[in-house]
């Protein structure tokens, strides 16, 4: 047990973000840490929901005793400028990367299977008319872009299927269980052979519009694209055109750009697209996972150990 002083931001979390504050408080109760108002004794800040970046920047800058800032999401693109502006010795930002991998990977698999079988078309139907659209995952080639927690968990979930899995990584390394692993600069070599392309990479300055018109055109016309990472990784206009023209077979999207997707946007009426509103991990799934991450990092800080999920500020994830 520890009496570490922890501040939860925002101080008054909106109802939509109440799960984050509740999870953090349960973690405090588990560890004996104290919830305090932001002040000189604060050693850890837990961001429990959407917070104004200027407010967060001031909180870190004006309180040099803060050693850890725990962010609520796995992706940290919204916090990059704040992290770089407040960089100092003795301070780390930690994300929830890896914490939500299981539910998000499950959702990626669900979107994959549903889109391959054209269930998005059947879900919109109002009659018994049959269609011959549909492809089996078995015997296919799945390309996963990103070998972080979500990508590697999806690789594990795919093991019962008779599929060949290729992984795309930022820096050269082998991923256990993958048939082949290539670096991002070789993406174009493996893309044309894929039956399913799953985008599970971090959003950084270098990965915005990673999948654009040229890469969509390079895919099989039967292939499906699944994005469960960040919307801007895929060029939306190019995707709309590729779906309308039949350049690719379909798309399963939990994230889009812009987000939320406006009413009347062409993707809503695209029969080849299956869209879920950024809910690969619902509050019910997320609460215990975020609680565990906060608990682990309170204990790490109290024991002067390396926290879990430390963000590489230069890399942006």
Catalytic site residues? 230, 259, 278
20: helix, strand or coil: helix
* Size of the chain, expressed as the number of residues it contains: 317
Cα dihedral value 217, 218, 219, 222, nearest 10? 60
294: helix, strand or coil: helix
Token match 């990092």: residue?
297
DSSP per-residue codes, 263-301: TT-GGGG-TTEEE--S-SS-HHHHHHHHHHHHHHHHHHH
Q: Which tokens go with 317?
A: 């994830």
Q: How far apart, in whole angstroms, are the C-alpha atoms of residue 167 and residue 148?
A: 10
Q: How far, in Å, are 37, 49, 96, 196 from residue 295 at the CA level?
A: 19, 17, 12, 37
Q: How far apart, in whole angstroms, are the C-alpha atoms of residue 94 and residue 70?
A: 5
Q: How far apart, in whole angstroms, are the C-alpha atoms of residue 242 and residue 249?
A: 9
Q: How far, in Å, are 72, 91, 311 from residue 65 at the CA level?
A: 21, 9, 19
Q: Is the separation of the CB atoms in 203 and 189 below 8 Å? A: no
Q: How far apart, in whole angstroms, are the C-alpha atoms of residue 273 and residue 162?
A: 25
Q: Which tokens go with 61?
A: 């800058």
């Amino acid at each position: 047990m520890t009496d570490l002083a922890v501040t939860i931001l925002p101080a008054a979390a909106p109802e939509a973000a109440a799960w984050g504050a509740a999870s953090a408080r349960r973690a405090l109760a588990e560890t004996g840490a104290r919830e305090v108002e932001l002040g000189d004794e604060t050693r850890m800040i837990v961001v429990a929901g959407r917070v104004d970046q200027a407010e967060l920047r001031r909180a870190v800058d004006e309180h040099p005793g803060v050693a850890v800032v725990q962010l609520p999401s796995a992706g940290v693109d919204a916090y990059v400028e704040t992290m770089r502006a407040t960089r100092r010795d003795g301070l780390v930002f930690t994300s929830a990367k890896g914490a939500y991998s299981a539910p998000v990977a499950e959702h990626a698999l669900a979107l994959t299977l549903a889109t391959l079988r054209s269930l998005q078309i059947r879900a919109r139907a109002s009659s018994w008319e049959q269609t011959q659209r549909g492809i089996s995952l078995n015997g296919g080639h799945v390309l996963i872009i990103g070998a972080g927690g979500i990508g590697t968990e999806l690789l594990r979930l795919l093991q019962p299927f008779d599929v060949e899995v290729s992984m795309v990584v930022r820096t050269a390394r082998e991923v256990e269980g993958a048939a082949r692993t290539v670096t991002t600069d070789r993406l174009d070599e493996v893309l044309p052979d894929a039956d399913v392309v799953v985008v599970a990479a971090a959003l950084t300055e270098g990965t915005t519009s990673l999948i654009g018109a040229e890469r969509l055109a390079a895919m099989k016309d039967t292939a499906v694209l699944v994005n469960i990472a960040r919307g801007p990784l895929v060029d939306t206009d190019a995707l709309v055109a590729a779906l309308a023209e039949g350049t690719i077979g379909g798309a399963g999207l939990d994230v889009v750009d812009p987000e939320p997707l406006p009413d009347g946007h062409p993707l809503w009426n695209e029969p080849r697209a299956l869209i879920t509103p950024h809910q690969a991990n619902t509050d019910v799934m997320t609460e215990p996972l975020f609680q565990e991450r906060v608990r682990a990092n309170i204990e790490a800080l109290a024991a002067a150990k390396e926290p879990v999920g430390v963000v590489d500020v230069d890399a942006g994830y």
